[in-house]
Structure 1
Amino acid sequence: MAKVGIVMGSDSDMPVMAKAADILEKLGIDYEMTIISAHREPDVFFEYAKSAESKGFKVIIAGAGMAAHLPGMCAAIFPMPVIGIPMHTTSLGGRDSLYSIVQMPSGIPVATVAINGGANAGLLAAKILATSDEALLERLKAYSKDMKEQVQAKDARLQEVGYKNY
C-alpha cells in the first residue's frame, strides 16, 4: 500500500514532483502519483482526497501553481499531513502559488516547502513517516551522512586544487 500520495494539478508540474518521487524511491517509501485538477475536475479531486486515507496514505504531497488550491483542499479533506509545493509561474515567479498554499486559514494547515521544492517535500514526507518507522529513520540518517560527506569531499578538492582550478 502506498504511504505517500503525490498529486499535481498539471503535467507541467512533473519535473518538480518527480524530485519528490525520486527521494521517496531512494528511501524505499511507496507512493502513488496522480494528476488531478482541483478546478477542472472537482468531483475527481474530491474522491481522491476523500479516499486517500483508506488507500493507506499517511502523507500527501500536493504541487500546484497560480491559484494553487490543490494542497489546501487536500488538507481540508485529508486528516493527515499535507505538504504543498508551490510551482514557479511565469507571471508572478511562483509567489502567487506560494501565498495561495502557505496562507491557509486557522485549522487547515499545509506544510509548505520552497517554490519548486520537490526534493524537500519528499524529505519532509520521509521525516514525518520516520517518526513511527525506525528503519526509515536509519535510512534518513544515512542519507544525511552521505550529504555531509559529499560537501566534505568538495571542500577537500577545493583545498587541494584551489578555486581557480576547481
Structure 2
Amino acid sequence: MQPVVGVILGSKSDLPLMESCVKVLEDLGLTHELKVCSAHRNPRGVMEWATSARSRGLKVVIAAAGGAAHLPGVVAAWTDLPVIGVPVPTQHLQGVDSLYSIVQMPAGIPVATVARAALAT
C-alpha cells in the first residue's frame, strides 16, 4: 500500500523520539515512509525527497529536527503538502531552541508545530 504520511528526521539520533509517532501512525492504519536526511548535511537530498513527496502519494509530512531545526521549514519550502514540525529536545535548552526555530517560519512557508516531546499524545 502506498504511504500517505512522510516522516523525515534530521538525524538518526532522532529515531527513538519518533518511534512513538510511527507507532501512532501504525495504530491508526496510516501507511508511512521514514527518511533520515539532514537539511544541513544533505540539502539536495531533502529537496529531492520533498519535491517528489506528492508524486509518491504522500498527503502530509512530519519533519523532526533539533537545535537549529531547519528541516521542517526547508521541507515546507519545497512542497505544497502540509508539514508538521516536531521540535526535538536538545541537551542544553531541552528543545526550546528547536521549537522557536520551527514556529518562526517566514510568510509563505507554513509549518504546523507540535509541543516538545508530545508525540504519543
Q: TM-score, normalised by structure 1?
A: 0.70
- The offset of 1:119, in angstroms, is 2.5
Counterpart of 2:12 in structure 1: which amino acid? D
The percent identity for this pair of structures is 54
Asked whether the equivalents of residues 71 and 101 of structure 1 are also in contact (C-alpha less than 8 Å), the reply is yes
**Structure 2: which 5+ residue stretches go unaligned?**
none
Which residue of structure 1 aligns with residue 10 of structure 2? 9
Structure 2 residue 38 is the aligned partner of structure 1 residue 34: no
CA-based RMSD: 0.9
Shift, 1:106, TM fit: 1.4
Give the letter for the 2:97 counterpart.
D
Could you report, residue by residue, the CA deviation over 1:41-89 in whole angstroms, capped at 9, with x for unpaired residues? Answer: 1111110011111111100000000000000111111101100000100
Give how far 1:92 is off: 1.4
What amino acid maps onto 2:95 in structure 1? G
Counterpart of 2:89 in 1: which secondary structure? coil
Instruction: Judging by fraction of residues, say which structure has more strand.
Output: 2
Count of aligned residue pairs for this structure pair: 120
Structure ranking higher on relative contact order (CA contacts 8 Å, 6+ apart) = 2
- Equivalent-residue separation in structure 1 for 2:45 and 2:108 (angstroms): 24
Deviation at 1:19, TM superposition (A): 1.1
2:24 is equivalent to residue 23 of structure 1:
yes
What is the Cα deviation at residue 118 of structure 1? 2.2
Distance 1:117 1:3 in 2: 22
In structure 1, the gaps of 5 or more residues are 121-166
Larger radius of gyration: 1
State the distance in 2 between where 1:84 and 1:111 align.
6
Deviating beyond 4 angstroms after TM superposition, the runs of 4 or more aligned structure 1 residues are: none
Alignment of structure 1 residues 123-162 onto 2, 5 Å: none
Letter of the aligned partner of 1:69 in structure 2?
A: H
Aligned-residue offset at 1:117: 2.5
